[in-house]
């Protein structure tokens, strides 16, 4: 069952605290490094930030930050070995930035139950910080999609390679259809949304826009509800490991393709060049933001983060 | 009927501007840039669309794009189309600030223009980068890269030329000459991209 906003937080708790998440479907595209470096930069900009490593099966955010495996992890909280989420917070070398580590040792945690998820989400929301930045794991499991959907800023990491872009679209579609299904007012509309998930469905629904047209014909009231969900879902692309201007332009094309074929108002938050200094810092188990602050990648992360804070994106160029 | 604010991107396929992802009153340069960019989007092997459309659909899209472009790039056809649809013609007078005087395009340009030269001309006209970014819809960051001569960060020459022409038009210098003078400093091989 998808989490709904009202289930997760009481109205009074909706402060200016923001939840940001980094997803992308595919592994090895730099989600953790993006989360770590953007979090680091946010802290540099004076925000109080908690990084949450929600990659419960393959947690490594601590390594990105140059830390040893923390003594307590999210698993301790999920298994109720500690009662509050504050007890699993670790400090980092950067002032204002702390970390909640994932559970490298606990495979089953990747399939936490619905109520546990609500408990995690509520406590994460209640943390006394400015930004909670969640590094989602690879894949499109419901837990990952729900964290992504509940974020104020949903960052979608891709690298300019077919496999990553394919998974990126799959991630967006899975998240979107999950959101639409949760908003469907009745069984018939839910069935239509489910049918749309199968690309060869007999209804001939191939895109979210097809689905919307179909629902519109049957149930205009339901169509309005789905339309609101579509309009409210605005993933922000970050293109990682770009090598030339042709790669940079792909970000604009992804935004255009989302608009033209998925009915989504995505945006292009920024890009990070392939940069050997990043890799060298990773080898030394240091974060390039502090290890190589003058590198091109570090400058691009600073620009990217400033843009995300202001809600700005790269213009389409026409 | 749903109010207009409910229209989602991708749905407003009704007019030729929307086919190119533009608003009515788009400038000629915007039409050119949008067309080139959309063609690339549906080009063979396009990373951004190959999982969303099959080759036949990509071809259909290219046909639609060409049909829209052929009307919008032709002054007479575009005027007739705009009138038929009740769209206002492209007009610089709606800009939120005064544009440079038309005779400014007579300014003698040096054969080589640097980013710093462009900035001087712009500042002499009292125009901020933000204004230029707003009107041309070119990302402010790219405009900064142009003025800072950060060639590594600039887009492919085909886009750069469009950006430079738009910039030049707004600050009131000859668009074609300005683009040539700026781009004369790029490596010759790179202009084939």
Instruction: Break chain A into its structural domains and give their ranges.
Output: 16-162+242-253+265-303
Q: Where are the domains of chain B?
A: 4-85, 93-186
Q: Is the dihedral of CA A47, A70, A25, A106 positive or negative?
A: negative
**In angstroms, rounded to a whole number, what is the distance separating the alpha carbons of residues A100 and A31?**
16
**CATH code linked to domain A16-162+242-253+265-303:** 3.40.50.300
**CATH code linked to domain B93-186:** 1.10.260.40
Q: Dump pLDDT digits (tens) for A18-63.
A: 999 999 878 888 899 999 999 999 999 999 999 999 876 667 889 8
CB atoms within 10 A of CB A230: 25
Q: With an 8 Å Cβ cutoff, are A253 and B30 in contact?
A: no
The mean-pLDDT minimum among A161-170, A197-206, A242-251, B184-193 falls in B184-193
Q: Dump pLDDT digits (tens) for B60-99.
A: 999 999 999 999 999 899 999 988 888 877 754 344 333 4
- Residue B155 pLDDT grade (very low, low, confident, very high; cuts 50, 70, 90): confident
- Is a pLDDT exceeding 50 seen at residue A311? yes
Check residue B91 and give its pLDDT.
55
Q: What is the ipTM of this complex?
A: 0.80
Nearest Cα residue in chain B from A272:
B153
- Compute the average pLDDT of residues B24-47: 88
* Shortest alpha-carbon distance between residue A259 and chain B (Å): 5
CB atoms within 10 A of CB B94: 9
* Shortest alpha-carbon distance between residue B122 and chain A (Å): 19
Q: What DSSP string runs through A160-189? A: SSHHHHHHHHHHHHHHHHHHHHHH--SHHH
CB atoms within 10 A of CB B151: 15
The mean-pLDDT minimum among A99-108, A126-135, A239-248 falls in A99-108
- Compute the average pLDDT of residues B88-113: 57
With tokens 């998808």, the residue in question is A2
CB atoms within 10 A of CB A180: 26
Nearest by CB to B40, which of A207, A253, A262?
A: A253
Check residue B13 and give its pLDDT.
57
Does the B4-85 domain belong in CATH 2.60.40.10?
A: no
Three-state secondary-structure class, residue A35: helix
**CA distances for A97 relative to A46, B39, B46, angstroms:** 10, 44, 40
Residues of chain B with Cβ-Cβ distance to A317 below 8 Å are 33, 37, 137-139, 142, 155, 159, 162-163
- Is a pLDDT exceeding 60 seen at residue B5? no
* Shortest alpha-carbon distance between residue A264 and chain B (Å): 6
- Residue A318 pLDDT grade (very low, low, confident, very high; cuts 50, 70, 90): low
- Residue B12 pLDDT grade (very low, low, confident, very high; cuts 50, 70, 90): low
- List residues in chain A touching B: CB distance below 8 A: 160-162, 165-166, 169, 207, 209, 212, 224, 227, 230-231, 245-246, 248-250, 252-254, 256-265, 303, 314-318
- Contacts of A112-120 with C-beta under 8 Å, sequence gap 24+, read A112/A56, A112/A78, A112/A143, A114/A1, A114/A3, A116/A78, A117/A3, A117/A143, A117/A146, A118/A3, A118/A7, A118/A8, A120/A74, A120/A77, A120/A78, A120/A85
Q: With an 8 Å Cβ cutoff, are A260 and B10 in contact?
A: yes
Residues of chain B with Cβ-Cβ distance to A227 below 8 Å are 2, 6, 8
Radius of gyration of chain B (CA): 18
Give chain B's mean pLDDT. Answer: 81
């Amino acid at each position: 069952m998808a989490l709904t906003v009202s289930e997760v937080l009481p109205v009074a708790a909706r402060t200016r605290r923001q939840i940001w998440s980094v997803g992308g479907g595919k592994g090895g595209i730099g989600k953790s490094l993006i989360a770590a470096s953007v979090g680091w930069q946010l802290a540099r900009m004076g925000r109080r930030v908690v990084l949450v490593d929600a990659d419960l099966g393959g947690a490594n955010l601590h390594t990105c930050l140059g830390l040893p495996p923390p003594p307590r992890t999210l698993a301790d909280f999920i298994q109720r070995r500690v009662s509050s989420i504050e007890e699993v917070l670790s400090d980092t070398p950067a002032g204002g930035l702390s970390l909640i580590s994932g559970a490298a040792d606990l495979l089953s945690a990747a399939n936490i139950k619905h109520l546990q998820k609500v408990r995690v989400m509520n406590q994460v929301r209640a943390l006394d910080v400015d930004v909670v930045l969640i590094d989602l794991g690879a894949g499109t499991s419901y837990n990952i999609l729900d964290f992504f959907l509940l974020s104020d800023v949903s960052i979608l990491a891709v690298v300019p390679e077919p496999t990553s872009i394919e998974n990126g679209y799959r991630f967006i579609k899975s998240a979107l259809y999950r959101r639409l299904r949760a908003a469907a007012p009745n069984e018939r509309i839910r069935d239509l949304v489910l049918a749309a998930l199968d690309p060869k469905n007999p209804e001939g629904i191939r895109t979210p826009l097809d689905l919307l047209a179909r629902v519109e014909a049957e149930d205009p009231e339901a169509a309005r509800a789905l339309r609101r969900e579509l309009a409210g879902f605005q993933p922000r692309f970050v293109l990682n490991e770009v090598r030339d201007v042709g790669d940079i332009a792909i970000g604009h094309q992804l935004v255009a393709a989302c608009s033209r074929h998925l009915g989504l108002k995505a945006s292009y938050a920024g890009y990070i060049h392939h940069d050997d200094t990043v890799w060298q810092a990773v080898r030394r188990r240091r974060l390039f933001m502090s290890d190589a602050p003058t590198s091109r990648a570090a400058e691009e992360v600073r620009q990217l983060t400033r843009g995300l804070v202001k809600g700005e994106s790269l213009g389409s160029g026409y | 009927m749903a109010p207009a604010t409910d229209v989602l991107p991708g749905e407003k396929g009704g007019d030729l501007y929307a086919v190119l992802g533009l608003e009515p009153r788009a400038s000629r340069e915007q039409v050119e840039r949008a067309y080139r960019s959309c063609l690339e989007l549906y080009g063979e092997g396009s990373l951004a669309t190959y999982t969303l459309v099959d080759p036949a659909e990509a071809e259909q899209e290219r046909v639609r794009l060409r049909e829209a472009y052929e009307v919008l790039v032709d002054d007479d056809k575009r005027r007739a189309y705009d009138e038929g649809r009740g769209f206002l013609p492209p007009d610089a007078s709606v800009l939120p600030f005064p544009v440079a005087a038309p005779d400014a395009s007579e300014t003698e340009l040096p054969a080589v223009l640097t980013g710093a030269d462009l900035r001087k001309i712009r500042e002499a006209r009292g125009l901020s980068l933000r204004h230029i970014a707003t009107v041309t819809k070119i990302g402010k960051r790219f405009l900064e890269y142009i003025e800072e001569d950060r060639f590594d960060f600039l887009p492919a020459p085909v886009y750069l030329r469009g950006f430079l022409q738009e910039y030049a038009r707004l600050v009131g210098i000859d668009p074609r000459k300005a683009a040539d003078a700026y781009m004369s400093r790029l490596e010759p091989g790179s202009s084939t991209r």
